[in-house]
Chains A and B, each alone.
Chain A
Amino acid sequence: MSRQISLQQAVNEALAQEMERDKTVIVMGEDVAGGSGTQGEMDAWGGPLGITKGLWSKFGDRVMDTPISESAFVGAAVGAAVSGLRPVVELMFVDFMGVCFDQILNQAAKFRYMFGGKAVTPLVVRTMYGAGLRAAAQHSQCLYPMFTHVPGLKCVVPSTPYDAKGLLIQAIRDNDPVIFFEHKLLYSIRGEVPEEPYTIPFGEANFVREGSDATIVALGRMVHLASDAAQALAQEGIDCEVIDLRTTSPLDEDSVLESVEKTGRLVVVDEASPRCNIATDIAALAGQKAFASLKAPMAMVTAPHTPVPFSDVLEDQYIPDAKRVAAAVRDTMRYKA
Chain B
Amino acid sequence: MQLSRADLLKAYRTMKMIREFEERLHIEFAAGEVPGFVHLYAGEEAVATGVCMHLDDRDKITSTHRGHGHCLAKGCDVDGMMAEIFGKTNGLCAGKGGSMHIADLSKGMLGANGIVGGGPPLACGAALAAKKLGTGGVAVSFVGDGGANQGTTLESLNLAAIWSLPCIFVIENNGYAESTSCKYAGACHDFADRASGFNMPGVTVDGHDFFAVHEVTGEAVRRARMGNGPTLIECKVNRYYGHFEGDAQTYRARDEVKTIRETRDCIANFEKKATSSGMLAASELQETSREVLAQIDDAVAKAKAAARPGAADLLTHVYVSY
Q: Give residues in A with beta carbon < 8 Å to B.
A: 24, 26, 62, 64, 66-67, 69, 71-85, 87, 102-103, 106-107, 110-120, 151-152, 154, 174-176, 203, 250
Contacts and interface: CB of A to CB of B under 8 A. Distances in A.
A98 to B, nearest CB: 12
Contacts of A72: 120-121, 124, 152, 155-156, 158-159
Nearest to B93: A116
B320 A120 contact: yes
Contacts of A69: 155, 158-159
Interface in B215-274: none
B320 A71 contact: no
A171 B115 CA distance: 27
A95 B322 CA distance: 27
Given A74-B121, A79-B139, A107-B121, 8 more contacts: A24-B132, A67-B158, A75-B122, A85-B132, A87-B125, A107-B118, A116-B93, A117-B94
A116 B317 contact: yes
Please indicate which of the listed interface residues B104, B110, B113, B122 has the most CB atoms of chain A within 10 Å of its own CB: B122
B27 interface: no
B121 A79 contact: yes
A80 B110 CA distance: 11
Nearest to A121: B320
A118 B103 contact: yes
Please indicate which of the listed interface residues A64, A113, A154 has the most CB atoms of chain B within 10 Å of its own CB: A113
Contact of A67 (B103, B162, B318): B162
B152 A71 contact: yes
Contact of A76 (B96, B121, B321): B121
Contact of B125 (A83, A110, A115): A83
Contacts of B96: 113-116
A79 B321 contact: no
A35 B44 CA distance: 45
Please indicate which of the listed interface residues A69, A77, A78, A176 has the most CB atoms of chain B within 10 Å of its own CB: A69
Contacts, number: 159
B146 interface: no
A64 B162 CA distance: 12
B168 interface: no
B317 A117 contact: yes
A64 B128 CA distance: 11
Given A106-B114, A120-B320, A154-B319, A84 B125 contact: no
Nearest to B108: A83
Please indicate which of the listed interface residues A67, A116, A176 has the most CB atoms of chain B within 10 Å of its own CB: A116
A107 B103 contact: no
A195 B130 CA distance: 33
A79 B125 contact: yes
